[in-house]
Amino acid sequence: MNSRNNPLSAREILEGSFLENRARILEVAAFLDRIERAEGAPQAHDDYRYRALLRAVECLLKPSGEVTKDILENLSDPTPEPIECAAGMKGAVGAWKGVKE
């Protein structure tokens, strides 16, 4: 058992979940490839969701033991006050539209 009280060793986690996570990474790569091949790709690069996803991928490249937290913070609205009214909003978009550069 390690210091984080995980019942599995790093090796066991790797062996048990590698293929599943390989597929997830390939899905993200395919998504980005489809954007690049589509008409309007340069405009998509300016979209807040595209930029947020690239920042999330950058978090994956810096393993810290808190990558999930870092990605969630990257995608979340950091403002402390709730919005006044959600009228007109059609649902969650998955990334904060504000600027986090």
Q: Is residue 59 part of a domain?
A: yes
Q: Looking at the predicted structure, is the pLDDT value of residue 7 above 50? A: yes
In whole angstroms, give the CA distance from residue 38 to residue 66: 34
Q: Is residue 5 part of a domain?
A: no
In whole angstroms, give the CA distance from residue 98 to residue 101: 10
Among all chains, which residue has been given the structure tokens 């539209």? 97
Asked if 41 contacts 35 with a C-beta cutoff of 8 angstroms, the reply is yes
**pLDDT > 90 in the chain, percent:** 61
Q: What is the pLDDT of residue 18?
A: 97
Q: Is residue 27 part of a domain?
A: yes
Instruction: Give me the half-sphere count of Cα atoms (radius 13 Å) on the Cβ side of residue 38.
Output: 11
Provide Rg for the chain, Cα atoms: 17
pTM: 0.75
Q: Is residue 70 part of a domain?
A: yes
- If one counts every other C-beta atom within 10 angstroms of the C-beta of residue 74, the result is 19
Q: How many distinct structural domains can be found in the chain?
A: 1
Range of the domain at 57: 10-75
Q: Is residue 51 part of a domain?
A: yes
Mean pLDDT value of segment 14-39: 97
Q: pLDDT higher for 81 or 75?
A: 75
Among all chains, which residue has been given the structure tokens 């091949």? 37
What mean pLDDT is reported for the chain? 87
Q: pLDDT higher for 53 or 101?
A: 53
